[in-house]
Structure 1
Amino acid sequence: MDVTGRSGEMTVFATVAEQGSLSAAARALGLTPSAVSRIVARIEARLGVRLLVRTTRALALTAEGQAYLRAARRILADMAEVEEAIADQASPRGRLRVTASLAHGRLYVVPLLGDFTARYPGILVDLNLSDRIVDVLGGQADVAVRFGQLADSPLTARKLGETGRVVVASPGYLARHGTPQVPDDLLGHNCLSFNFRRAEPGWPFREDGRDRALAVTGSIEANNGESLAQLARAGVGIARVGRFAVENDLATGALVPLLEAFNPQDREPLHALFVGGSTTPARVRVFVDFIVERLAARVA
């Protein structure tokens, strides 16, 4: 090893303290005992203090030696952290924990992962698709791709796009139960809803220039829009879901949009949320940059 610089000297001294003897430190470092002794003597001469008390049977640190050891360990750890961070910039690596909603994650995030891991082979993507809110600040994930208005939070947010919502039903359901013409007609229908608390108390509509929330009821509630869309396709009832989740169904006619004249055209933003700052790992930054590049303007 190179022991000509201050960091090399600190490494030698820390090793002597850890090993408990000059000869043991020399073996650990691949140096001769005399070389280790000269380095310790050089440090003591420069500082003008005794760092080690050496006897034939033991080696002990003086008070000044203990202070130097603490400082040396801190400096060496800081240097290692800086070098690791710089190396990480050049070749991001490590486990990246990503969470996204079930439907959007399956339709939009999963198809991007092959290209991402090909570009960054040192990153292992640990993906969790769930409509349950994951605590990024608490360390449960590195990046969360989420719809919804942002609450006050120390998290950093990068906007990926936004989506509207649409009320849908299958042609078969409408043939059996009739097509609602105004929002109040939904009170006589089986409306499939989310089972977690949302910002609006009911399904929002705009009538006569005014916004209102209609409290609907139904036989099934679910924690994700993909399940609601699947139930709607099966003719179980009417659902209000993100338009992105049913684009293909609307295009093929498997689902029919309802009450579009009363659609408030509310838009729900999509963000990538993560802990920002100078200590943000490169694997997080490159992933967020990648999905911003690929997802921006793709959300319906």
Structure 2
Amino acid sequence: MARLDVNRSGEMEVFVRVVDLGGFSAAARDFAMTPSAVSKLVTRLESRLNARLVNRSTRKLQLTPEGCRYYEHGVRVLANLDEAESAAAFADSPCGRIRVSCNVPFGRHILLPALPEFMARFADVSLDLSLTDHVVDLLEDRTDVAVRAGPLKDSALMARKLGTVKMHIAAAPGYLERKGVPHHPGDLASHNLLGPNYVRAGGGWPFAKDGVGQTIKPTGSIQASDGEALRELALAGAGLARLADFQVRNDFARGSLVPVLEPFTASDSEEVHAIFLGQGGPMPARVRVFLDFLAERCRLS
């Protein structure tokens, strides 16, 4: 059973648990309190802060903007309190669970091979890893760190750049034998362009040569949920795909994929960042060492 200290940290803990569990009743059961007692505690917290944190006019728990900010900071403060207690007992060794979201290509080719080394270094840290090319909401999904490729949207999130990756347009030799090798972006009109089924900034394949640029949207017969699925489709001869250099380097060496239109894609690249919550303040040691590990072992040239 969760323990409640009736003080500022206790109020914060109750509020965070209300949000995590989705309501006053669920939090009340967790703390062995009545729902009305939890509701009064949150009301007292709102009065002390002089800010409404929760809209009570809807059946579903709905946070106000002030409530979202208080929750975000509260999660971090409580994590730091947990870490402080753990530090006293375990000599400040990073410990606890890190929830990580990572785009599929970077995860499969860069992160997963490096994780055994991280786990060997930090035996008291556990990882909850999700590979997806869909952008997750770190606050809503309770995610500590997300690895994302491509342009970053303006937000309150912090970012640590892991590098820049060259992008290629690639196809299997068998596909090019059937459909012909494109020598100019205009030739792509007669080709099957494999693209993602999720929304991304830009939304197309950029080409440039001699100062002249254009963007072509992939509108082929197959769309896929992640970049690694697009690579597998390209390997199977389904069409052309835009893929990261670390995905296709070995495929190019083996000849199972062939780069095309290289004179027009020389400047095509994407930045990769590790994204995390916070405004530059203290962060849990487990998150800090994971970010440091990414910068050390998963940095892109």
2:162 is paired with a residue of what secondary structure?
A: strand
Query: 1:195, CA displacement in angstroms?
Result: 1.3
Could you say if the C-alpha distance between residues 123 and 201 of structure 1 is closer, same or farther in structure 2, counting changes exceeding 3 Å? closer
The residue correspondences of 1:1-300 to structure 2 (distance < 5 A) are 83-84=84-85, 86-87=87-88, 90-276=92-278, 277-298=280-301
Q: What is the TM-score normalised by the length of structure 2?
A: 0.69
1:90 is paired with a residue of what secondary structure?
A: coil
1:158 is paired with a residue of what secondary structure?
A: strand
In structure 2, the residue matched to 1:57 is none
In structure 1, the residue matched to 2:12 is none
CA–CA distance in 2 between the matches of 1:194 and 1:201?
9
In structure 1, the residue matched to 2:58 is none
Query: Which amino acid in structure 1 is aligned with residue 206 of structure 2?
Result: P
Q: Deviations over 1:78-119 (max 9, x none)?
A: x97684264477211111111111121011111111111111
CA–CA distance in 2 between the matches of 1:236 and 1:139?
34
Identity across matched positions, percent: 47
Query: 1:267, CA displacement in angstroms?
Result: 2.1
Query: 1:278, CA displacement in angstroms?
Result: 3.5
Query: 1:297, CA displacement in angstroms?
Result: 3.6
Query: 1:225, CA displacement in angstroms?
Result: 0.9
Could you say if the C-alpha distance between residues 216 and 147 of structure 1 is closer, same or farther in structure 2, counting changes exceeding 3 Å? closer
2:214 is paired with a residue of what secondary structure?
A: strand
Q: What is the TM-score normalised by the length of structure 1?
A: 0.69
Gaps of 5+ in 2: 8-77
Q: Deviations over 1:237-288 (max 9, x none)?
A: 1111222211110111110000011115132111111123434211000100
Q: Deviations over 1:218-240 (max 9, x none)?
A: 11001211111111111111111
CA–CA distance in 2 between the matches of 1:109 and 1:264?
26
CA–CA distance in 2 between the matches of 1:213 and 1:259?
13
CA–CA distance in 1 between the matches of 2:151 and 2:81?
40
Q: Deviations over 1:116-146 (max 9, x none)?
A: 1111111111111111111113353111111
Range that drifts further, 273-282 or 256-265: 273-282
List structure 1 segments (4+ residues) > 6 angstroms apart after TM superposition: none
Query: 1:291, CA displacement in angstroms?
Result: 1.1
Greater gyration radius: 1
Could you say if the C-alpha distance between residues 213 and 124 of structure 1 is closer, same or farther in structure 2, counting changes exceeding 3 Å? same
Range that drifts further, 278-287 or 207-216: 207-216
Could you say if the C-alpha distance between residues 84 and 203 of structure 1 is closer, same or farther in structure 2, counting changes exceeding 3 Å? same
Gaps of 5+ in 1: 1-10, 15-76
CA–CA distance in 2 between the matches of 1:182 and 1:240?
15
Contact 1:186/1:216 (8 A) holds in 2: no
